[in-house]
Structure 1
Amino acid sequence: MKKTVILFALAISILSCNKTTETKEFKTAYIDTSKLMEESTEAKDIEAKFKDKSKVMGNQLEAEVTRWKSEAANFQKNAQANGQAWAQQKGAELQKREQELSYAQEGMLRQLQQESGTELDSLVSNYKKVIKDFGKEKGYDYIYGTGEPASILYAKDSYDITKDIIKIVNDKYKSTAKKEDTASEKK
């Protein structure tokens, strides 16, 4: 009987505590992170920069591959005329160059991935800061992200602040670019 009275008193005290606590609604929003990266000027500039760099590096490598193919074609023409010893030596040289070209291509891809990854990581870090500042300024309790690794499966469109953030990061990037242009003109 004592246990029942104690449990009953405990239940009443918990219920009365719940009634006195204030229920607060949270101000929330979300950002489509894929759209942010697609539509931000800075992200587009980074993508274009590495596309151009890839093209230049690829052209250099392509010239080497073309030379190698030419040598391989000449090798096949001259193999019988120059004898087996020459063919084995030249074949080994061509195989070695082919392997070097393959390593060069892998190295180029690795370098491009590393450099672009570093710049994109920095960009994402800057965007997180912008979003955090925006959230504080506008009084948000939570700002969620959607995109490829979707963390929100549904939200009302009215909670979407992606356009606001894109405008802020693009304006910030434009003002930074103008400052850099002005500084380089003074030099």
Structure 2
Amino acid sequence: MKKVPFYAAVAAVILSVVAIYMAKSSSELVYVDVNKLIEGYSRTKVAKAEFDKKANLMKANVDSLVANWQKELKNYEKERSSLSPKELKLKEELLGNKQQQINGYQEAIQKKIQEENQKVTQTVINDINDYIKEYGKKNGYKIIFGANGGGTIMYADESSDLTEDVLKGLNEEYGEK
């Protein structure tokens, strides 16, 4: 009979150790809201402003070419009646060729803008990922999940959300650079 309290005490100790381990393990499962990090990261704003400036310059260049072509087209329309059939044909070919060149250039610029946007976005994401890796190592987390509203994490207790801490540290690190 005296062994029952002893076994109960041992079982209670084992359950306590397991409970402490489970509590510790569950606290190592945390997440960050990737969208909030990208939006709140200072470098994102700087990179976006630089990208917008570059993209607007490229678009303005295309707009300038289109405007010049439209002027030539209007001039052609005005002087059309005074041109010979041979001159008409030549002018129409020149205008058509120029339009094709402008369209090709416009497509190339749009592709370049998309590539530049992807490059800027990837640079920001790489910064965030590198910081999170170091943050996780420094703070002893085994896993840091990324939530982005796309179904990666369907539910997590808000106490597991590191977004604000990571964002603060990320911006402080960027500000030092």
TM-score (norm 2): 0.80
Count of residue correspondences: 156
Query: How far, CA to CA, are the matches of 1:35 and 1:129 in structure 2?
Result: 16
Q: Aligned residue for 1:72? A: 73
Unmatched 5+ residue regions in structure 2? 1-14
CA RMSD of aligned residues (A): 1.9
TM-score (norm 1): 0.76
Q: Aligned residue for 1:106? A: 107
Q: Is 1:43 paired with 2:57?
A: no
1:36-81 deviation digits (Å, cap 9, x = unpaired): 1111110111111110111112112211111100111111222232
1:132-180 deviation digits (Å, cap 9, x = unpaired): 111122222221111153311121222111111111111111100xxxx
Query: How far, CA to CA, are the matches of 1:150 and 1:171 in structure 2?
Result: 30
Query: How far, CA to CA, are the matches of 1:114 and 1:71 in structure 2?
Result: 32
CA contact under 8 A between 1:42 and 1:173: conserved in structure 2? yes
CA contact under 8 A between 1:68 and 1:97: conserved in structure 2? yes
CA contact under 8 A between 1:79 and 1:86: conserved in structure 2? no
SS of 2:145's equivalent?
A: strand
Cα deviation for residue 118 of structure 1 reads 2.3
Matched to 1:46, the amino acid is: A
Query: How far, CA to CA, are the matches of 2:152 and 2:63 in structure 1?
Result: 42
Query: How far, CA to CA, are the matches of 1:149 and 1:94 in structure 2?
Result: 48
Q: Aligned residue for 1:6? A: none
Query: How far, CA to CA, are the matches of 1:52 and 1:156 in structure 2?
Result: 41
Q: Aligned residue for 2:3? A: none
Q: Is 1:145 paired with 2:146?
A: yes
1:83-135 deviation digits (Å, cap 9, x = unpaired): 32222211111111111111111212222222332232232222112111111
Q: Percent identity?
A: 26
